[in-house]
Structures are given as C-alpha cells and as structure tokens.
C-alpha cells in the first residue's frame, strides 16, 4: 500500500513508519523537518508545515493517510479537505482522553465524548486536550464520512517516549532502594507499548477498518501492585516498595499522573479501566510487561534525567517518604 504519514519521526510516528516499512508498504512523510529529519533515509519526505504547505502534496494519491500530530479541529480539517480526493482513508491518532477522567470502568467506544463551551478554542492544555481531540474526530467524519479510523490510545509507552511518563518507573526501579508507590495497590493501570500500537494501526489500515477504536492495554486487568512487582522482577531489581496513602500524597502536593505516573485518584479510577475489546477483536495484540519494561529501561539508560518531565526527583521522593514515616510514627503505626 501507499501510505502518507503526517509526522513520522517522533515516538508514535517513527514506530508507525518502522512497522509499515517492515510490512512492505511505500511511505511518504510530510513534516517540518525539525525532529530527526534524517531518520529514514530511504523514505520519501515532503517538507512543509501542515497549516501552510499542504499544496506540496497536490496531484498525488495514497491509499491512506495517518495523522500522528493533529490536535486542533481547524488544522485537522484543513488536512482532511486537502487530502479528500487523494486518499481512501484517513487514520487519526486520537486519545481515550476524549471521554474525560470521570468515566465508569469498562467505558467503550459508545461512551459520550467531551465537548467545549467554546469550540473555537485552540489552546491545547490539560483541560482542552481531550475535548479538542473529540472535535477533531467530529470534523474528520463531517468531511470524510465513513472513511475515518479514529484510534484512541491510552498512555503510550516504550522506547523513544519523550514525555518521561511510564519511563519513570523502570528507571526508578532499576536504581533500587526504597521506592514510593502511590495510593491503593489494587488500583488498575493501563498503557500500551508504542510498538504494539504501531503494528496494529498498520494492520488496521491494511484491513480497511473505520470508526472509533480504543487502543490501550494490557489485555487482562493489571493493578499498580502487579505492575510494580512485574517490573521489579523483569529488571531483577532489589527495590523495596513503600505504599503511601492517596490523601497524604495529595496533601503533600504530589500530582497524580505527573509526579507519580500511572497513578490516578480513586475518583478517576475508571479512566484506568477503559475497554479495548473492540480493537482486540480486530487483532490488537500485546507483548509482555517484562519486555516493555526491560526495553524501556535499556533505552532510558542512555537518556539525561536532569529536568525530566514526569516523576519525582530523588530528593522529593525522599522528602515525601520521610514525611510519611513521621506521620505513621505519630499515629503509632
């Protein structure tokens, strides 16, 4: 197949390109040339900005386009209109954030999506990210009815992840010592290895899938304790886990999901229990937790960890653990 990729050199995009190449497809990458511009020397690249240079794709045709970097409906709509006669299908990388964090466990693709009071907003932040993705989906379907595959991943993890989310845990556990673990050990956690996501998306393009598909994992329910225990075993780590009460962490100003990745407060537990059964029936498969953890930690070893984007610093972790120990002592626990 001939596939156009908007983006294609950063994290999800680069793994998508690798998966498509491995399956023998012919690719064209359209991006600004600012991130890893020489990453795929054998692949055609058209350099340009999606807001101003889509005319550089005129007169061409592809079987599908995969949009890895759409966040604002106006901009996504521009691409859809420009490519409406050039592609059979439009694959959009959306997010389970379209549902919000207060969903019930088991939420599936029929769950109502978020909206914005002012749909013209184009500032992408923690409040608007999910609703804007939902509006992007609606914009695409309006322009290309019946021709859009909306892929809704959860937390995407693995080698090359620039966000430091998830990576914090393999890196921290590999250091050993006392590790602060958040809240309830039975809390569900979800994520998907970027390579599993990429391989499934490429097969979904081949199979002509359209419509919305949640794409998170793992296949079977996983608790925070399962995750930390499995990760520690995969890394042969001597780390000792100390569980710290959720209310205490919040009182200490520890931010869920950011300071301690994967941790969501009890009120948002459903966001970590989204159903991906539809995608699984359509071929979504998962590698083992151990493989994801080991590969992520091996990649992280070569990264600079000063000024990381997520996770507690060593000093802050020690500070919170000391405060927790003091609080328990005062309570006679």
DSSP secondary structure string, 180-203?
EEES-TT-B---EEHHHHHHHHHH
State how far the Cα of 215 lies from the Cα of 261, in Å rounded to an integer.
19
Write out the two tokens for 84.
């409406």
List pLDDT tens digits, range 287-300: 999 999 999 999 99
**Confidence tier at 305 by pLDDT (50, 70, 90):** low
Instruction: Please check whether residues 110 and 246 belong to one and the same domain.
Output: no
Please give the residue range of the domain that contains residue 182. Answer: 168-189+220-267+287-328
Looking at residue 71, its pLDDT comes to 97
Q: Does some domain include residue 174?
A: yes
Out of 137-146, 223-232, 295-304, least confident range: 295-304
List pLDDT tens digits, range 18-36: 999 999 999 999 999 999 8
Q: How many percent of the chain have pLDDT more than 90?
A: 91
With 80 as the cut, is the pLDDT of residue 260 above it?
Answer: yes
List pLDDT tens digits, range 62-110: 999 999 999 999 999 999 999 999 999 999 999 999 999 999 999 999 9
- Going by their DSSP bridges, the two strands 211-215 and 156-157 should be labelled as unpaired
Instruction: Please check whether residues 13 and 126 belong to one and the same domain.
Output: yes
Looking at residue 333, its pLDDT comes to 58
CATH of the domain at 53: 3.40.50.720
Instruction: Read off the pLDDT of each residue in 156-177 and give the average, rounded to a whole number.
Output: 95
Residue with structure tokens 């998830």? 166
Instruction: Please check whether residues 52 and 8 belong to one and the same domain.
Output: yes
Q: Does some domain include residue 291?
A: yes
**Confidence tier at 46 by pLDDT (50, 70, 90):** very high
Instruction: Please check whether residues 147 and 177 belong to one and the same domain.
Output: no
With 80 as the cut, is the pLDDT of residue 307 above it?
Answer: no
Instruction: Please check whether residues 108 and 177 belong to one and the same domain.
Output: no
Instruction: Please check whether residues 16 and 132 belong to one and the same domain.
Output: yes
Looking at residue 4, its pLDDT comes to 98
Taking alpha carbons only, the member of 195, 203, 285, 217 closest to residue 14 is 195
With 70 as the cut, is the pLDDT of residue 329 above it?
Answer: yes
Q: Does some domain include residue 278?
A: no
**Confidence tier at 197 by pLDDT (50, 70, 90):** very high
Q: How many percent of the chain have pLDDT more than 70?
A: 98
Would you put residue 111 in left (φ > 0), alpha (ψ -120 to 50) or beta? beta
**Confidence tier at 198 by pLDDT (50, 70, 90):** very high
Instruction: Please check whether residues 293 and 211 belong to one and the same domain.
Output: no
Q: What is residue 79's three-state secondary structure?
A: helix
Average per-residue pLDDT for the chain: 95
**Confidence tier at 328 by pLDDT (50, 70, 90):** confident
Instruction: Please check whether residues 34 and 174 belong to one and the same domain.
Output: no
Question: Greater confidence, 302 or 178?
Answer: 178
Instruction: Please check whether residues 234 and 305 belong to one and the same domain.
Output: yes
How many domains does the chain fold into?
Answer: 2
Q: Does some domain include residue 273?
A: no
Looking at residue 308, its pLDDT comes to 81
């Amino acid at each position: 197949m001939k596939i156009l990729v908007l983006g294609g050199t950063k994290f999800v995009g680069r793994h998508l390109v690798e998966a498509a190449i491995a399956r023998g497809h012919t690719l064209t990458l359209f991006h600004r040339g600012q991130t890893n511009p020489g990453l795929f020397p054998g692949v055609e690249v058209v350099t340009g900005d999606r807001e101003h240079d889509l005319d550089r794709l005129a007169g061409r045709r592809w079987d599908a386009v995969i949009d890895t970097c759409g966040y604002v409906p106006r901009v996504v709509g521009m691409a859809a209109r420009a490519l409406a006669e050039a592609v059979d299908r439009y694959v959009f990388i959306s997010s389970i954030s379209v549902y919000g964090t207060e969903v019930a466990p088991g939420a599936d693709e029929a769950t109502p999506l978020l909206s914005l009071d002012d749909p013209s907003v184009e500032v992408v932040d923690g409040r608007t990210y999910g609703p804007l993705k939902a509006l992007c989906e609606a914009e695409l379907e309006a322009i290309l009815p019946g021709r859009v595959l909306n892929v809704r991943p959860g937390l995407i993890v693995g080698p090359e992840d620039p966000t430091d989310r998830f990576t914090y845990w393999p890196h921290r556990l590999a250091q050993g010592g006392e590790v602060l673990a958040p809240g309830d050990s039975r809390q569900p956690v979800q994520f998907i290895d970027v390579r599993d996501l990429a391989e499934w998306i490429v097969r979904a393009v081949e199979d002509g899938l359209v419509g919305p598909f949640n794409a998170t994992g793992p296949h079977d329910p996983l608790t925070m304790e399962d995750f930390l225990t499995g990760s520690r075993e995969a890394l042969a780590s001597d780390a000792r886990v100390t569980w710290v009460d959720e209310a205490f962490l919040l009182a200490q100003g520890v931010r869920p999901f950011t300071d301690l990745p994967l941790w969501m407060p009890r009120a948002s537990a459903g966001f970590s229990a989204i159903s991906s059964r539809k995608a699984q029936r359509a071929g979504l498969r998962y590698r083992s937790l151990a493989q994801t953890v080991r590969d992520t930690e091996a990649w992280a070893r070569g990264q600079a960890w000063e000024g990381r984007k997520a996770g507690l610093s060593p000093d802050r972790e020690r500070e919170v653990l000391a405060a927790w120990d003091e609080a328990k002592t005062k309570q006679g626990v």
